Every structure is written in structure tokens, then in C-alpha cells.
Amino acid sequence: MSALTSLPEWQTLTNLASAIKNAHMRDWFASDANRAESMQLEACGLFLDYSKNRVNEDALSALFDLARACKLEDVRDAMFNGEQINSTEGRAVLHTALRSFSDRQIMVDGKDVMPEVRATLSKIEAFTASVHSGEHKGYTGKPVKDIVAIGIGGSFLGPKIMTEALKPHTVDSVKVHFVANVDGCHIHDVLSKVDFEETLVVMSSKSFSTQETLQNTLTAKDWFLKSGGTQEDIAKHFVAVSSNVKAATEFGISEDNIFPMWDWVGGRYSLWSAIGLPISLALGFENFKGLLEGAFDMDTHFTSAPLEQNMPVLLGLLGVWYRNFFDAQSHVLLPYYHYLRGLPAYVQQLDMESNGKQVTQEGEDVDYPTGPIIWGSEGTNGQHSFHQLIHQGSGVIPADFMLPLHVPNQDETHHAMLASNCFGQTQALMQGKTFDECYADLDGKGLNDAERKRLAAHKTMPGNKPSNTFLFESLTPKTLGALVAMYEHKVFVQGVIWNLNSFDQWGVELGKELGNQVLAGIQGEAKEDNFDASTQQLIARFRAANAPK
Ligand code: F6P
């Protein structure tokens, strides 16, 4: 048994879970009029109703005991203090430094990083102002109208999804287009819409070695040169965000057009760095700063609130409760707000690339489930697609519902309908509909009793399906920053409980390596043919289909 599953706190939770599995939330609500009011939490503009969870006071208390047994607060403080908690890459984990508005020093390798963090923020601010004002001009003297932001993973998801979520705050002077996939359809589709005389390319890659981003940028560069630009003009139309300044300059980006980032910022935690430059260009620097401020507020909450009143801690522990004691395989995010539709995809990388691991910090195989599958989409759309499974499927899928109380240009009828669907879904998931209720509904329908019972069984809704509901006044940059930081810290909490290194991603390396070998095979340049028979036949069919005519 692992250290975790050997803990007495783990055994307590196992015992409590087996007892609670026989209880139904609708009975808890019926017997405790105060349940909803006693299971709510507010922080950083977020209201959380967590009363529709399959926990009682004993279970919550035992979960907080587990957090303490795992020394959660010590590891949290180690992260914020710049200790090298990324134990396989020997790095600090300091995305929190990027949004620190306190005056404390944050030391990495004996050096306070805050001056360079602030200098980069000032560079982002100044560059944004020069583009928006028209001061920054292209090679024919025209101001910038279109931004082509090229990146993938954490160098794409954050900028794209934050910009989309804050669409009501976008500036009129520029339009930002995002390109990620190496599928040429994407970059060519975007480049066909822009005039390079008025276009700026922001190439974002922490490593400056990601195939998709390099190829897309080469294609954009090629397009630029064919459109009349010259090598000397590159500097006016291409900037880069990277921790690999050497590679970026070798690529042809001039050094003063490179926005630095640091190895102590993980890709999926990097939107707060210069990776967020497209956000600043799309929304204006003040709105980008608002994101940082909201995240800083959540950092302050996370580092100061008692565990029992700590939103990321509570959410992380509830996730452990379902993952490890109710065999939940996934967690679904359901933002009831069209502009926030990208949030599930953002949290997908954040959570699954952080905790999709199977060995502990010590390199031992885990003997317990770790990171869940994260998925979801905007409400109400999911109700007409996958909610059937959440309601009547065979497992437990904990759900996070979220709803702004106000939206821009609010149509009262539409917004009331959106809210009523959101709340109605959480109620249906919790209370369900019993066989007896369904059987009674079928009275007088002309069915014999056997048929009536059979149909009632199909219509029965088990309920007891857990959900959290977040409400917030409106989705401002600050609120969004707090929401994203909340999920970052939730993931951190779970990584500590599961004793994982949440900050490396070795699992993505082999695919990249083999992809490059297959590319050589497809392009006929493979040195040796060590592909399995299936891959060989796939390459052969692709080559045959794409052989020069
Ligand atoms: O391959 C995974 C990954 O490294 C992510 O962690 C990262 O966000 C993405 O690729 C892009 O990496 P880069 O910013 O170095 O191009």
C-alpha cells in the first residue's frame, strides 16, 4: 500500500464513503432546512453553492484532515516561496509571481525575480499602447489592424479563451486571430483574411521548439515575404514570446521584439506572463491587468483562508472524494454563459496535463486513481447532447455549473431562461425522479402493469448526482482571473494529495519524437524503418494518396 492509502485519514474516508453511498441528497435536504445556507462559500467575487454534493459534516471534516495529513499548507507555502517543487525538472513553480501586486521579493536561485516580471509587464503595456495608437507601423507605414497569434497548448488556450470570454471588453482598433493546429487549413484560412501591410504576428512558444508553432510561423513568414515584405521588414511584423531567446533570435526575430518568460512558469500556467500579450492586444492592457488582479486576489485567498473556508481547497478535496471514493472517472464543466464556452478546454489542459500521472514524487506507481478526465461545454447546449448520460448514466460525474447574474446587453427573457435551465439541471441531478413517481405518472395511459413497470424503470432518474454551482455578478477580467486561479489551485491541491509532480509533462515527449520519425517516413527521408506494421501501412497509404501526380 502507498503512503497515501495507508493513512488513517484515508481509511476514515473509505468507511464514511461506504456509509454515505446508501444516503440520498434529497433526504438530506428534506431533513436539514439549513443545508443550502450552511454549504456556501464566497471569495473574490465568486459565490459557490456546494450543498448539492454527496458530503456531510463528517465527510468534509475527514477530507480536511486528509489535507492536513498531506501537509497541504506546507507545500502550498513552498510553491509561493519559490522552492523547487517541480521535482523532476528542478524548477520553482511561480506563475503566482507573475500576478503578484505585493511588494515582497520572490527569490529564484538567489535573485529577486519581481523586477524582471514588472519590466516585462511594462513592455507589454508599452507595446500594446504603440499598436493601439497606430504608432507601431508596418513596412508600408500603415498601422496594425490584424494580429495573428500563433501558439499551441498553454501558448494558445489561455490567450484565446480569455479573449473569447471577455469579448465584450475587446478594443475596436485591432482584431486578434488565433492559430494553433499544424493543419494548414487553419493558418491559410487566417492569412487569407488579412493584409500583411497591416498585420502583426505574435509567435508564442515557451520552448521555441514546438513543431506546429514553428511551422505556422514559417508559413506566415513565407506569406509575408511573398506579399512584398522583405527580410528587413520582418522586425515590424513579427514579435515572439519565449523563454528561449537564443532560438527566437536565430529564427529571425529581433531581440527587442522578444518578450521573455521563464522556466519557472509552466506552459499551462503561463497566460499571466507575456504569453498573455495577445490578450492585452485584444482587450487593452488595463483589462489584461484586471485578469492578473483577480488571480492575485484568489492567491491571497488561497494562502490565507482557513482550509475549511478555502475555495480551491474545498473543490480539490471534493474532487478527491469523488475520484477516489466514488470511482468518478471524469469531471464536467458547464459554463452557462456563451462567452465562457472555452473554459472546459482550458481547464482540460490545466488539470489533465498536471495530474494525468501514474507515479508519485518518489517515482513509485500509484495504487489509487489520479487526475480525472475533464470535459464539458456551454449550457444550455449540453442539455441537448450529453446531459442524458450525466442524469441516467451508470457512474458519478461531478459537475461544475457556473452562471453570471448579469450579462452585457442583457435580454431579461433569455437570461431568465438561461438561469432557470442551469438551476433546474442541478436540482434534477440532485433529486432525480423515483420509480414510484414515474409509475404513478403512467397511470391511465392504457398500459398493462408489466409494461407500466418496464417503462417506469426506463424513466426513473436516480438523482444523487453531485454538482457545484458558481454565481458571479458578471464576467469581468478580475472575476475571470479569480476563476482561473481557483482552478489552478484546485489542481495543485489534488496534486499534493495524490503526491504527484503536477508541473512536468513527460507524457507528451514520446508522441512528438515518434511523430518526427513518421514525418521523415512520409517525406521519404527515414533513416531506418522501425515502424510497426500498422504504422507502416498507414504511411504507405498516405504516401500513395499524396504521391506527386
Ligand atoms: O507538448 C505539451 C506542451 O509542452 C504544453 O505543456 C505547452 O503548453 C505546449 O506544448 C506548447 O509548448 P511551447 O509553449 O513550448 O510551444
pLDDT in tens, 339-351: 999 999 999 999 9
How far apart CA 179 and CA 186 sit, in angstroms, is: 6
Please compute the mean of the pLDDT values over residues 331-342 and round it to a whole number: 98
Secondary structure letter of residue 503 according to DSSP: T
CA-angle at 353, arms to 350 and 356, nearest 5°:
120
Output the pLDDT for position 357. Answer: 98
CATH fold, domain 8-69+305-431+466-498, is: Rossmann fold (3.40.50)
Output the pLDDT for position 355. Answer: 98
pLDDT band at 203 (very low <50, low <70, confident <90, very high): very high
Ligand 1 pocket, residue 271 CB under 6 Å: no
Q: Is the four-CA dihedral 383, 169, 164, 146 of positive or negative sign?
A: positive
Topology agreement, domain 8-69+305-431+466-498 and domain 108-284:
yes
Q: By CB neighbour count within 10 A (0-12 exposed, 13-18 middle, 19+ buried), where does 202 fall?
A: buried
Q: Whose CA is nearest to atom 16 of ligand 1?
A: 205
Task: Examine the pLDDT at 528 and tell me if it is beyond 80.
Answer: no
Output the pLDDT for position 530. Answer: 85
Please compute the mean of the pLDDT values over residues 85-94 and round it to a whole number: 98
CA 516 to ligand 1 centroid distance, Å:
16
Output the pLDDT for position 267. Answer: 97
**H helix count then E strand count, the chain:** 22, 13
Output the pLDDT for position 527. Answer: 72
Say if CB 247 and CB 216 are below 8 A apart: no
Q: By CB neighbour count within 10 A (0-12 exposed, 13-18 middle, 19+ buried), where does 221 fall?
A: buried
pTM (predicted TM-score): 0.98
Residue spans per domain, the chain: 8-69+305-431+466-498, 108-284, 432-456, 506-545
Question: Which pairing describes strands 40-43 and 46-49: parallel, antiparallel, or unpaired?
Answer: antiparallel
Which of 164, 212, 293, 353 does the annotation list as catalytic? Answer: 353
Residue percentage of the chain with pLDDT more than 70: 100
Task: Note if 459 is an active site residue.
Answer: no
Return the best residue to mutate from 505, 506, 516 for the ligand 1 pocket (most ligand atoms within 8 A of CB): 505
Task: Note if 286 is an active site residue.
Answer: no
Output the pLDDT for position 388. Answer: 98
Domain 108-284 sits in which CATH superfamily?
A: Glucose-6-phosphate isomerase like protein; domain 1 (3.40.50.10490)
CA 92 to ligand 1 centroid distance, Å:
17
